[in-house]
Amino acid sequence: MSSAASSADAGRGAVYDRGYRPYDGPRGRRGAATLALYKASMRRALGLRRPWRQKVAPFVLLGVVTIPAIVNVGIGYVTRDRFDGFQIITYREYVGVSSALLLFVALVAPDVMCPDRRHRVLPLMFARPLLGVDYVVAKVGSITTILFAFSFLPQVVLFVGNMLVSNSALDYVGDHLDVLWKVPLAVAVLSLYYATIGCALSSLTDRRIVAGASVIGLFLLTSISSSVIVGDSSVEGGGYGGLINVLAMPLHLRDVIFLGHIDPDSPLSGVAGGGLLALACYLVVLCTGAMVLWWRYRWVER
């Protein structure tokens, strides 16, 4: 009897109370969605939670840009009894480690921007409350943050190292108080500029290799063209051709921040009002990049 009952029970279906239930937890709005996308973009750019191969490029580049600071501090320590304040690179010059930053932007910006369009996940991302402008802010903000960190951390190493190997740490800090605001400002100007250009060019294609080549091509082409034009210019010390060098534009503003004027060795040194012209061109490039990004992602709000 018991075996027959168990056989009958085994043939019966079990009913579980598993239905769709409303979510009663906290609900994030545009700010929460933007912040989540910002964090996810930073993790992707740094290779976090990804195979180890994706982590090599960012952290190798960080090590490369930190080497000059370590070398400077090391030589300063060895020669501290003979030379006070020895340096092979200044804080102003250190802001423009352009080749390493160029490579980083060409690698990271396409990796952050292109897969979303290539894998057709933008319609899912742009479901409310996330808007096109939020998407752009999160993507550009993530790359700007990483560029700022990669440019600022070596400066911290250089400053702290020089302070420790100097004859008096307090005197060194007192003599270099202006560095505490000049370096962050110059680094922020450079980081936002490169991040905007990288994201704008990467938004025009869904192929990372094409986007990376476009970033490098734009920087190198304008740099070479500017050198040719300035070299043939009749203006002593430089010429207006220096304004077409997209790669060096934030470096002109760096000089204005640190020196109060254009560097005498700069291609713009012979141009009247070179600092204001550099600022105007800088803003034009930023606005152009912002308009490209707005144009590429405005449709998702409809």
- Residue-wise pLDDT for 169-219, tens only, equals 888 888 889 999 999 999 999 999 999 999 999 999 989 999 999 999 999
Backbone torsions φ then ψ of 5, nearest 5 degrees:
-65, -40
CB-CB neighbours of 200 under 10 Å? 27
38 vs 273, more confident: 38
Q: Using the predicted structure, report yes or no on whether residue 15 has a pLDDT greater than 80.
A: no
- Structural domain boundaries, residue 125: 28-301
258 vs 65, more confident: 258
**Domain-embedded: residue 20:** no
**Domain-embedded: residue 241:** yes
**The whole model's pTM is what?**
0.84
**Domain-embedded: residue 66:** yes
| Overall domain count for the chain | 1
Query: What pLDDT sits at residue 65?
Result: 83
Residues contacting residue 131 through CB under 8 Å, at least 6 positions apart: 30, 300, 301
Q: Using the predicted structure, report yes or no on whether residue 302 has a pLDDT greater than 50.
A: no
**Domain-embedded: residue 91:** yes
**Domain-embedded: residue 3:** no
In the numeric block, the tokens 């012979």 are attached to 270
Instruction: Give the whole-angstrom CA distance, residue 225 versus residue 230.
Output: 9
**Domain-embedded: residue 22:** no
To the nearest 10 degrees (0 to 180), the angle between helices 274-297 and 132-165 is: 140
Q: Which parts of the chain fold into alpha helices (H)?
A: 2-11, 30-46, 53-78, 91-94, 98-118, 122-125, 132-165, 169-175, 179-202, 208-231, 249-259, 274-297
Instruction: Give the whole-angstrom CA distance, residue 197 versus residue 211.
Output: 11
**Domain-embedded: residue 8:** no
pLDDT, tens digit, 9 for 90 and up, residues 118-146:
888 888 887 767 888 999 999 999 999 99
Tokens of 224: 């070479």
Instruction: Give the whole-angstrom CA distance, residue 244 versus residue 247.
Output: 9
**Domain-embedded: residue 254:** yes
